Amino acid sequence: MSVKETISVEGYAFTGGLMGRKYVKAAKNAEAVELLQKQGLIIIGLTNTPEMAMWWDSSNPVYGRTLNPYDLSRIPGGSSGGEAATLAAAASVIGIGSDIAGSIRIPANFCGVFGHKPTPFIVPTLGTYPSVSGDREKLLGLGPITRYACDIIPLLKIMAGPKADRLKLDETPDLSKLKVYYIEDIGDPLAKKCNSDILAGIRDAIEHLTKKYKVVAEKITFEEFRYGFLLWAAEANTEPNSPSIAIQIKDGRSGELNPYVEFFKKLCNNSEHNMSSILSTILEKFTPLYGTRGNKMLTSRATELRKKFNELLGDNGILFVPSHPEPAPKHFTTLMKVFNVSYTSVTTVLQGPITQCPLGMSKEGLPFGVQILARPYNDRLTIAVALELEKAFGGWLAPCRVDV
Protein backbone atom coordinates (compact mmCIF):
# COMPACT_ATOMS: atom_id res chain seq x y z
CA MET A 1 0.00 0.00 0.00
CA SER A 2 0.96 3.69 -0.29
CA VAL A 3 0.56 6.52 2.22
CA LYS A 4 0.17 10.28 1.86
CA GLU A 5 3.45 11.97 2.81
CA THR A 6 1.85 14.13 5.51
CA ILE A 7 0.96 10.97 7.48
CA SER A 8 3.99 9.83 9.46
CA VAL A 9 5.67 6.51 8.67
CA GLU A 10 8.66 5.78 10.89
CA GLY A 11 11.96 6.37 9.10
CA TYR A 12 10.32 7.79 5.99
CA ALA A 13 10.31 11.39 4.76
CA PHE A 14 7.92 13.65 6.65
CA THR A 15 8.39 17.03 4.99
CA GLY A 16 4.83 18.20 4.41
CA GLY A 17 6.18 19.63 1.15
CA LEU A 18 8.10 22.37 2.98
CA MET A 19 11.68 23.18 1.98
CA GLY A 20 12.42 23.93 5.62
CA ARG A 21 11.60 20.27 6.41
CA LYS A 22 13.32 18.77 3.36
CA TYR A 23 15.45 16.36 5.40
CA VAL A 24 12.96 15.57 8.19
CA LYS A 25 12.20 11.89 8.80
CA ALA A 26 9.28 10.62 10.86
CA ALA A 27 10.34 9.45 14.32
CA LYS A 28 7.37 7.11 14.68
CA ASN A 29 4.25 5.91 12.91
CA ALA A 30 0.95 7.73 12.88
CA GLU A 31 -1.58 5.78 14.96
CA ALA A 32 -3.52 4.71 11.85
CA VAL A 33 -0.31 3.54 10.14
CA GLU A 34 0.64 1.55 13.24
CA LEU A 35 -2.72 -0.23 13.15
CA LEU A 36 -2.29 -1.06 9.45
CA GLN A 37 1.25 -2.37 9.84
CA LYS A 38 0.24 -4.56 12.79
CA GLN A 39 -2.18 -6.30 10.41
CA GLY A 40 0.65 -6.99 7.97
CA LEU A 41 0.11 -4.28 5.38
CA ILE A 42 3.35 -3.37 3.59
CA ILE A 43 4.02 0.27 2.74
CA ILE A 44 5.74 0.57 -0.64
CA GLY A 45 6.10 4.36 -0.63
CA LEU A 46 4.79 7.81 0.18
CA THR A 47 2.84 10.07 -2.16
CA ASN A 48 2.91 13.75 -2.98
CA THR A 49 0.89 16.63 -1.52
CA PRO A 50 0.84 20.43 -1.68
CA GLU A 51 2.73 22.41 0.95
CA MET A 52 1.27 21.64 4.38
CA ALA A 53 -1.57 19.74 2.67
CA MET A 54 -3.52 22.97 2.26
CA TRP A 55 -4.40 23.25 -1.42
CA TRP A 56 -6.49 21.30 -3.88
CA ASP A 57 -3.58 20.59 -6.24
CA SER A 58 -0.44 18.59 -5.41
CA SER A 59 2.72 20.55 -6.06
CA ASN A 60 5.45 21.67 -3.69
CA PRO A 61 9.07 22.89 -3.78
CA VAL A 62 10.44 19.62 -2.34
CA TYR A 63 9.07 17.04 -4.79
CA GLY A 64 7.58 19.08 -7.61
CA ARG A 65 4.25 18.58 -9.36
CA THR A 66 2.01 15.51 -9.58
CA LEU A 67 0.18 14.97 -12.89
CA ASN A 68 -3.24 13.49 -13.55
CA PRO A 69 -2.85 10.05 -15.19
CA TYR A 70 -5.86 10.67 -17.44
CA ASP A 71 -4.41 13.88 -18.89
CA LEU A 72 -0.92 15.01 -17.90
CA SER A 73 -1.83 18.65 -18.53
CA ARG A 74 -4.35 18.53 -15.67
CA ILE A 75 -4.13 18.42 -11.89
CA PRO A 76 -4.73 15.28 -9.82
CA GLY A 77 -6.39 17.31 -7.07
CA GLY A 78 -5.24 17.73 -3.51
CA SER A 79 -4.17 17.50 -0.99
CA SER A 80 -4.10 13.68 -1.33
CA GLY A 81 -3.41 14.10 -5.04
CA GLY A 82 -0.30 11.94 -5.19
CA GLU A 83 -2.22 9.13 -3.52
CA ALA A 84 -5.20 9.33 -5.90
CA ALA A 85 -2.95 9.54 -8.98
CA THR A 86 -0.90 6.56 -7.78
CA LEU A 87 -4.04 4.46 -7.25
CA ALA A 88 -5.57 5.54 -10.57
CA ALA A 89 -2.37 4.60 -12.41
CA ALA A 90 -2.38 1.17 -10.70
CA ALA A 91 1.02 1.90 -9.13
CA SER A 92 -0.30 0.89 -5.70
CA VAL A 93 -3.01 -1.50 -4.58
CA ILE A 94 -4.63 0.54 -1.81
CA GLY A 95 -3.78 3.75 0.02
CA ILE A 96 -4.73 6.22 2.72
CA GLY A 97 -5.09 9.98 2.73
CA SER A 98 -6.33 12.76 4.98
CA ASP A 99 -9.24 15.14 4.44
CA ILE A 100 -10.17 18.36 6.22
CA ALA A 101 -12.02 20.19 3.42
CA GLY A 102 -12.06 17.72 0.54
CA SER A 103 -8.48 16.46 0.47
CA ILE A 104 -9.49 12.83 -0.12
CA ARG A 105 -12.64 13.50 -2.12
CA ILE A 106 -11.37 16.07 -4.65
CA PRO A 107 -8.37 14.02 -5.87
CA ALA A 108 -10.34 10.76 -5.79
CA ASN A 109 -12.91 12.52 -7.97
CA PHE A 110 -10.37 13.93 -10.43
CA CYS A 111 -8.58 10.57 -10.70
CA GLY A 112 -11.65 8.34 -10.93
CA VAL A 113 -11.17 6.31 -7.74
CA PHE A 114 -13.01 5.82 -4.45
CA GLY A 115 -12.27 7.86 -1.36
CA HIS A 116 -13.92 7.69 2.04
CA LYS A 117 -13.92 10.37 4.75
CA PRO A 118 -15.10 8.57 7.89
CA THR A 119 -17.31 9.84 10.67
CA PRO A 120 -15.11 12.17 12.78
CA PHE A 121 -13.17 10.77 15.76
CA ILE A 122 -13.44 7.16 14.56
CA VAL A 123 -10.03 6.84 12.87
CA PRO A 124 -7.16 8.26 14.98
CA THR A 125 -5.56 11.34 13.43
CA LEU A 126 -2.46 11.59 15.63
CA GLY A 127 0.71 11.68 13.55
CA THR A 128 -0.19 14.01 10.68
CA TYR A 129 1.58 17.17 9.57
CA PRO A 130 0.63 19.84 10.23
CA SER A 131 -0.84 18.49 13.45
CA VAL A 132 -4.50 19.18 14.19
CA SER A 133 -5.94 19.44 17.68
CA GLY A 134 -8.98 20.66 19.54
CA ASP A 135 -12.11 21.52 17.61
CA ARG A 136 -10.37 21.22 14.24
CA GLU A 137 -10.28 17.46 14.78
CA LYS A 138 -14.01 17.31 14.05
CA LEU A 139 -13.21 18.38 10.47
CA LEU A 140 -10.21 16.11 9.86
CA GLY A 141 -10.49 12.52 8.74
CA LEU A 142 -7.98 9.87 7.71
CA GLY A 143 -9.50 7.39 5.31
CA PRO A 144 -9.04 4.88 2.49
CA ILE A 145 -8.44 5.72 -1.17
CA THR A 146 -9.03 2.68 -3.38
CA ARG A 147 -9.64 1.59 -6.94
CA TYR A 148 -12.40 -0.78 -5.86
CA ALA A 149 -15.23 -0.05 -3.45
CA CYS A 150 -14.91 -3.48 -1.84
CA ASP A 151 -11.53 -2.43 -0.38
CA ILE A 152 -12.96 0.45 1.67
CA ILE A 153 -14.51 -1.50 4.54
CA PRO A 154 -11.53 -3.82 5.24
CA LEU A 155 -9.19 -0.82 5.37
CA LEU A 156 -11.59 1.23 7.47
CA LYS A 157 -12.03 -1.59 9.99
CA ILE A 158 -8.28 -1.73 10.57
CA MET A 159 -7.77 2.04 10.68
CA ALA A 160 -10.60 2.52 13.16
CA GLY A 161 -9.11 0.01 15.58
CA PRO A 162 -11.28 -0.50 18.68
CA LYS A 163 -13.80 2.11 17.49
CA ALA A 164 -14.70 0.13 14.36
CA ASP A 165 -17.58 -1.57 16.21
CA ARG A 166 -19.38 1.78 16.48
CA LEU A 167 -19.81 1.78 12.69
CA LYS A 168 -21.38 -1.72 12.49
CA LEU A 169 -19.53 -2.31 9.23
CA ASP A 170 -20.50 -6.01 9.14
CA GLU A 171 -24.17 -5.11 8.76
CA THR A 172 -25.47 -4.95 5.18
CA PRO A 173 -27.91 -2.06 4.66
CA ASP A 174 -31.23 -2.80 2.95
CA LEU A 175 -31.20 -0.43 -0.02
CA SER A 176 -34.92 -0.97 -0.62
CA LYS A 177 -35.46 1.18 2.49
CA LEU A 178 -33.20 3.92 1.19
CA LYS A 179 -34.28 7.57 1.20
CA VAL A 180 -32.47 9.45 -1.57
CA TYR A 181 -31.93 13.20 -1.58
CA TYR A 182 -29.77 15.17 -3.97
CA ILE A 183 -28.42 18.68 -4.49
CA GLU A 184 -27.38 19.88 -7.93
CA ASP A 185 -26.36 23.46 -7.13
CA ILE A 186 -24.95 24.47 -3.75
CA GLY A 187 -25.85 28.09 -4.50
CA ASP A 188 -22.46 29.57 -3.59
CA PRO A 189 -22.14 32.70 -5.79
CA LEU A 190 -18.33 32.39 -5.80
CA ALA A 191 -18.29 28.74 -6.92
CA LYS A 192 -18.85 27.53 -10.47
CA LYS A 193 -22.15 25.89 -11.34
CA CYS A 194 -21.96 22.18 -11.97
CA ASN A 195 -20.87 20.81 -15.36
CA SER A 196 -23.66 19.20 -17.44
CA ASP A 197 -21.78 15.89 -17.73
CA ILE A 198 -21.58 15.63 -13.95
CA LEU A 199 -25.25 16.50 -13.44
CA ALA A 200 -26.25 13.90 -16.03
CA GLY A 201 -24.10 11.29 -14.28
CA ILE A 202 -25.69 12.03 -10.90
CA ARG A 203 -29.18 11.83 -12.42
CA ASP A 204 -28.29 8.47 -13.99
CA ALA A 205 -27.13 7.20 -10.58
CA ILE A 206 -30.37 8.34 -8.97
CA GLU A 207 -32.44 6.76 -11.74
CA HIS A 208 -30.63 3.45 -11.25
CA LEU A 209 -31.40 3.40 -7.52
CA THR A 210 -35.02 4.45 -7.92
CA LYS A 211 -35.72 1.84 -10.59
CA LYS A 212 -33.86 -1.08 -9.04
CA TYR A 213 -34.91 -0.55 -5.43
CA LYS A 214 -38.24 1.23 -5.99
CA VAL A 215 -37.19 4.16 -3.81
CA VAL A 216 -38.10 7.81 -4.19
CA ALA A 217 -35.55 10.57 -4.80
CA GLU A 218 -36.10 14.18 -3.80
CA LYS A 219 -34.18 17.23 -4.97
CA ILE A 220 -33.46 19.57 -2.05
CA THR A 221 -31.56 22.71 -1.13
CA PHE A 222 -30.00 23.96 2.07
CA GLU A 223 -29.86 27.75 2.29
CA GLU A 224 -26.68 27.48 4.38
CA PHE A 225 -24.82 25.86 1.47
CA ARG A 226 -24.61 29.33 -0.10
CA TYR A 227 -22.05 30.22 2.55
CA GLY A 228 -20.30 26.86 2.52
CA PHE A 229 -16.71 28.03 2.47
CA LEU A 230 -17.33 30.61 5.20
CA LEU A 231 -19.11 28.04 7.37
CA TRP A 232 -16.12 25.74 7.05
CA ALA A 233 -13.65 28.56 7.79
CA ALA A 234 -15.60 29.53 10.91
CA GLU A 235 -15.78 25.91 12.11
CA ALA A 236 -11.99 25.67 11.71
CA ASN A 237 -11.53 28.65 14.03
CA THR A 238 -13.70 27.92 17.06
CA GLU A 239 -10.90 27.88 19.62
CA PRO A 240 -8.56 30.60 20.93
CA ASN A 241 -4.86 30.43 20.11
CA SER A 242 -5.27 28.13 17.11
CA PRO A 243 -1.97 28.50 15.20
CA SER A 244 -2.27 30.47 11.98
CA ILE A 245 -0.93 29.27 8.64
CA ALA A 246 1.61 32.11 8.81
CA ILE A 247 3.05 30.57 11.98
CA GLN A 248 2.73 26.90 10.99
CA ILE A 249 4.49 27.40 7.67
CA LYS A 250 7.60 28.59 9.55
CA ASP A 251 7.68 25.16 11.25
CA GLY A 252 9.09 26.25 14.57
CA ARG A 253 11.35 28.96 13.23
CA SER A 254 10.86 32.32 14.94
CA GLY A 255 8.24 34.76 13.75
CA GLU A 256 5.57 34.25 11.14
CA LEU A 257 5.42 34.45 7.37
CA ASN A 258 4.57 37.86 5.92
CA PRO A 259 2.48 36.79 2.92
CA TYR A 260 2.57 40.20 1.26
CA VAL A 261 6.37 40.31 1.27
CA GLU A 262 6.44 36.66 0.22
CA PHE A 263 4.08 37.44 -2.68
CA PHE A 264 6.53 39.91 -4.19
CA LYS A 265 9.44 37.57 -3.52
CA LYS A 266 7.54 34.90 -5.48
CA LEU A 267 7.07 37.30 -8.40
CA CYS A 268 10.86 37.70 -8.39
CA ASN A 269 11.33 33.90 -8.23
CA ASN A 270 12.90 34.27 -4.80
CA SER A 271 10.46 32.42 -2.52
CA GLU A 272 10.67 28.87 -1.20
CA HIS A 273 6.87 28.63 -1.06
CA ASN A 274 4.15 27.96 -3.61
CA MET A 275 1.90 30.84 -4.64
CA SER A 276 -1.05 28.77 -3.38
CA SER A 277 0.45 28.69 0.13
CA ILE A 278 1.02 32.43 0.07
CA LEU A 279 -2.55 33.02 -1.11
CA SER A 280 -3.90 30.72 1.63
CA THR A 281 -2.02 32.75 4.23
CA ILE A 282 -3.56 35.95 2.87
CA LEU A 283 -7.07 34.45 2.70
CA GLU A 284 -6.84 33.33 6.31
CA LYS A 285 -6.49 36.95 7.40
CA PHE A 286 -9.99 37.61 6.03
CA THR A 287 -11.71 34.57 7.55
CA PRO A 288 -14.03 34.84 10.58
CA LEU A 289 -11.63 34.09 13.44
CA TYR A 290 -12.43 32.86 16.94
CA GLY A 291 -14.41 35.21 19.14
CA THR A 292 -15.58 37.57 16.40
CA ARG A 293 -19.24 38.30 15.83
CA GLY A 294 -19.00 36.79 12.35
CA ASN A 295 -17.53 33.56 13.68
CA LYS A 296 -20.28 33.17 16.28
CA MET A 297 -23.00 33.79 13.68
CA LEU A 298 -21.52 31.32 11.19
CA THR A 299 -20.89 28.55 13.73
CA SER A 300 -24.49 28.95 14.88
CA ARG A 301 -25.67 28.52 11.27
CA ALA A 302 -23.44 25.46 10.92
CA THR A 303 -25.05 23.91 14.00
CA GLU A 304 -28.52 24.58 12.54
CA LEU A 305 -27.45 23.03 9.24
CA ARG A 306 -26.22 19.85 10.93
CA LYS A 307 -29.49 19.53 12.84
CA LYS A 308 -31.58 19.89 9.65
CA PHE A 309 -29.35 17.44 7.79
CA ASN A 310 -29.51 14.74 10.48
CA GLU A 311 -33.27 15.08 10.95
CA LEU A 312 -33.89 14.88 7.20
CA LEU A 313 -31.74 11.83 6.52
CA GLY A 314 -32.49 9.74 9.59
CA ASP A 315 -31.12 6.20 9.66
CA ASN A 316 -31.79 5.30 6.01
CA GLY A 317 -31.14 8.53 4.13
CA ILE A 318 -28.33 9.51 1.79
CA LEU A 319 -27.57 12.80 0.10
CA PHE A 320 -25.84 13.14 -3.26
CA VAL A 321 -23.73 16.29 -3.74
CA PRO A 322 -21.35 16.87 -6.68
CA SER A 323 -17.75 16.26 -5.63
CA HIS A 324 -16.65 19.23 -7.74
CA PRO A 325 -18.38 21.40 -10.35
CA GLU A 326 -16.07 20.31 -13.18
CA PRO A 327 -13.57 17.55 -13.99
CA ALA A 328 -9.88 18.09 -13.29
CA PRO A 329 -8.79 21.57 -14.44
CA LYS A 330 -5.51 22.44 -16.15
CA HIS A 331 -2.35 23.07 -14.18
CA PHE A 332 -1.82 26.64 -12.91
CA THR A 333 -5.55 27.51 -12.98
CA THR A 334 -6.59 26.66 -9.42
CA LEU A 335 -5.81 30.08 -7.94
CA MET A 336 -8.70 31.53 -9.95
CA LYS A 337 -11.09 28.74 -8.93
CA VAL A 338 -10.41 28.50 -5.21
CA PHE A 339 -14.06 28.71 -4.12
CA ASN A 340 -14.98 25.61 -6.14
CA VAL A 341 -13.79 23.71 -3.06
CA SER A 342 -17.03 24.87 -1.43
CA TYR A 343 -18.63 21.67 -2.78
CA THR A 344 -16.51 19.63 -0.36
CA SER A 345 -15.83 22.15 2.42
CA VAL A 346 -19.55 22.64 3.13
CA THR A 347 -20.20 18.89 3.30
CA THR A 348 -17.31 18.58 5.77
CA VAL A 349 -19.25 20.89 8.11
CA LEU A 350 -22.00 18.25 8.34
CA GLN A 351 -19.58 15.97 10.24
CA GLY A 352 -20.91 12.73 8.81
CA PRO A 353 -19.33 10.03 6.63
CA ILE A 354 -18.76 10.87 2.96
CA THR A 355 -17.84 8.47 0.17
CA GLN A 356 -16.60 9.82 -3.16
CA CYS A 357 -17.79 7.44 -5.88
CA PRO A 358 -16.71 7.58 -9.55
CA LEU A 359 -19.61 7.68 -12.01
CA GLY A 360 -17.94 7.75 -15.41
CA MET A 361 -16.06 9.93 -17.85
CA SER A 362 -16.80 13.39 -19.22
CA LYS A 363 -16.87 14.23 -22.92
CA GLU A 364 -13.21 15.20 -22.51
CA GLY A 365 -12.33 11.73 -21.25
CA LEU A 366 -11.88 12.83 -17.64
CA PRO A 367 -13.29 11.03 -14.58
CA PHE A 368 -15.98 12.54 -12.40
CA GLY A 369 -17.98 11.36 -9.43
CA VAL A 370 -20.34 12.24 -6.62
CA GLN A 371 -20.20 12.61 -2.84
CA ILE A 372 -22.50 10.22 -0.97
CA LEU A 373 -23.37 11.56 2.49
CA ALA A 374 -25.15 10.06 5.49
CA ARG A 375 -25.63 11.01 9.12
CA PRO A 376 -22.80 10.27 11.58
CA TYR A 377 -21.84 6.61 12.16
CA ASN A 378 -23.71 5.52 9.03
CA ASP A 379 -20.53 4.90 7.02
CA ARG A 380 -21.80 1.44 6.02
CA LEU A 381 -24.69 3.05 4.13
CA THR A 382 -22.59 5.42 1.98
CA ILE A 383 -20.18 2.58 1.23
CA ALA A 384 -23.04 0.21 0.33
CA VAL A 385 -24.41 2.75 -2.16
CA ALA A 386 -20.91 3.18 -3.63
CA LEU A 387 -20.66 -0.60 -4.09
CA GLU A 388 -24.01 -0.62 -5.89
CA LEU A 389 -23.07 2.27 -8.18
CA GLU A 390 -19.73 0.63 -8.98
CA LYS A 391 -21.61 -2.42 -10.26
CA ALA A 392 -23.91 -0.23 -12.33
CA PHE A 393 -21.41 2.25 -13.78
CA GLY A 394 -18.07 0.47 -13.76
CA GLY A 395 -16.18 2.33 -11.03
CA TRP A 396 -12.50 2.86 -11.80
CA LEU A 397 -11.64 2.93 -15.50
CA ALA A 398 -7.96 2.52 -16.38
CA PRO A 399 -6.33 5.66 -17.85
CA CYS A 400 -4.65 3.50 -20.52
CA ARG A 401 -4.44 -0.12 -21.59
CA VAL A 402 -3.21 -2.38 -18.84
CA ASP A 403 -1.41 -5.41 -20.26
CA VAL A 404 -0.33 -7.89 -17.60
Burial class (CB in 10 A: 0-12, 13-18, 19+), 282: middle
Helix axes 228-235, 342-349, angle to 10 degrees: 50
Determine how many CB atoms are found less than 10 A away from the CB of residue 284. 17
Among the listed residues 8, 79, 276, 277, the single catalytic one is 79
Among the listed residues 2, 4, 276, 323, the single catalytic one is 4
C-alpha–C-alpha distance, residues 105 and 101, integer Å: 9
216 to 15, 306, 310, 317: CA distances (angstroms): 48, 23, 18, 11
Among the listed residues 2, 80, 92, 103, the single catalytic one is 103
C-alpha–C-alpha distance, residues 122 and 344, integer Å: 20
180 to 166, 314, 345, 372: CA distances (angstroms): 24, 11, 21, 10
Residues in a beta bridge with 358: 369
Is residue 79 part of the annotated active site? The answer reads yes
Residue 146 and residue 96 in contact, taking contact as beta carbons nearer than 8 Å? no
CA 227 centroid distance within chain: 19
Residue 156 and residue 167 in contact, taking contact as beta carbons nearer than 8 Å? yes
C-alpha–C-alpha distance, residues 404 and 382, integer Å: 32
C-alpha–C-alpha distance, residues 4 and 7, integer Å: 6
Q: List, by residue number, the catalytic residues.
A: 4, 79, 103
